[in-house]
Amino acid sequence: MKKKFLCNCLILFGLLLFFTVMPQIIQSPLSVVRASEVEKEKNNEYRLNLKSITLVNGKSFTLKVYNLEDDAKVSFKSADPSIASVNENGTFKANKVGSTTITATVRRGSNSTSLTCDVKVGPPAFSVKMTRSIIILGQKQSALLEVIMKPSNTAELAKFSSFNSSIASVSSGGRVTAKRLGMTYIFAEIDAVNLDGSKKFASCSVIVTKPEEVTQLRKYFSNHLELSLISESDLSAALYEFFNSNNTTESNSGSESSIVDNLDKFLNLKFNLENLKKTYQERLQPVVEIKLSSQAGI
């Protein structure tokens, strides 16, 4: 009797366990299927290649809608065509400075979906200038260039390039990376043109040296202000000759003289730095006297 009762209890417990666990096992794959279907549906949603853009006045850009079905139709409309007009293919042109919105409407059967792109139109740049004329980097070091463009509200971005990317390369955003010993030039170009038809640009000299020599060279240039009396083109040409010479790039490691000593001797031969120092002091003296007089209240 006891055995029969115990057997019935075990059967009842087994049934309870079965009906408790089985629904979860059955529902689990269904949940996974639903989740994957939602993810698939999300990935197939209509979307534009851009949600916002800043464009230079007079320039064009083409909007594209992704994940379109074969039977879907798309139309484009500008909230303010005087600022940016758009054609049936989604190509819009910046007409004047301002902000507007381009709407892409996707129609499929009786369903429609609207997608928007915010458009800001700014003026082109008419001048560009680097904030530094010389950058000194150790190998594998990097620095971010800064440019000043006018007008200040320009929508244009400078186009960066390197004269010799094996010495120092530059990214589209202006980050310079030093690679091997030597000197090169980095250019920042805009679409505006000079009288001869060439595009306007700014440049800076990038000197790549050994990491342990960076501080020495930076101090040298900051302490020799008389170098500012040399024309930028002449000084740049001299530095290019010095830092790209075999004596500098190859044998400097075994030389007893420091790179600063060698550079100073080289520039002295080229420009007679002693005379330049005297000239610089003579030009600086009246400025110092005026400043001292104003501080003394004279």
Per-residue pLDDT reduced to its tens digit, 97-124: 999 999 999 999 899 999 999 999 999 9
Look at residue 204 in the predicted model and tell me its pLDDT.
95
Angle (deg, nearest 10), helices 259-271 and 232-243: 140
| Phi/psi of residue 173, nearest 5 degrees | -90, 0
C-alpha–C-alpha distance, residues 9 and 46, integer Å: 59
Look at residue 41 in the predicted model and tell me its pLDDT.
45
Class of domain 47-122 (CATH, top level) = mainly beta
Domain boundaries, given as residue ranges, for the chain: 47-122, 123-212, 224-247+259-291
Nearest Cα to 78, choosing from 104, 47, 48?
Answer: 104
Tens digits of residue pLDDT in 201-226: 999 999 999 999 999 999 999 999 99
Q: What is the mean pLDDT of residues 233-254?
A: 78
Look at residue 34 in the predicted model and tell me its pLDDT.
44
Nearest Cα to 242, choosing from 279, 211, 205, 275?
Answer: 205
pTM for the predicted model, two decimal places: 0.71
Tens digits of residue pLDDT in 11-52: 555 555 555 545 554 444 433 334 444 444 455 799 999 999
| Phi/psi of residue 68, nearest 5 degrees | -80, 140
Q: Indicate left, alpha or beta for 243 from its phi (over 0: left) and psi (-120 to 50: alpha).
A: alpha
C-alpha–C-alpha distance, residues 129 and 204, integer Å: 9
C-alpha–C-alpha distance, residues 180 and 211, integer Å: 11
C-alpha–C-alpha distance, residues 103 and 114, integer Å: 7
Look at residue 14 in the predicted model and tell me its pLDDT.
58
Q: In 14-67, which ranges are E strands? A: 47-48, 52-56, 60-62, 65-66
Q: Supply the CATH classification number for the domain 123-212.
A: 2.60.40.1080
Pairwise pLDDT comparison (261 vs 7), residue with the higher score = 261
Q: Are 107 and 128 in contact (CB under 8 A)?
A: no
Percent of the chain with pLDDT over 90: 72
Pairwise pLDDT comparison (138 vs 27), residue with the higher score = 138
Q: Under DSSP, is residue 114 helix (H, G, I), strand (E, B) or coil? A: strand
Q: What is the mean pLDDT of residues 273-279?
A: 92
Q: Quick one: pLDDT band at residue 250, thresholds 50, 70, 90?
A: low
Look at residue 257 in the predicted model and tell me its pLDDT.
77
Pairwise pLDDT comparison (216 vs 294), residue with the higher score = 216
Mean pLDDT over the full length of the chain:
84
Peptide bond between residue 23 and the one before it cis (omega within 30 degrees of 0): no
* Domain 47-122 matches domain 123-212 at the CATH topology level: yes
| Phi/psi of residue 198, nearest 5 degrees | -80, 150
Pairwise pLDDT comparison (11 vs 230), residue with the higher score = 230
Q: Quick one: pLDDT band at residue 283, thresholds 50, 70, 90?
A: confident
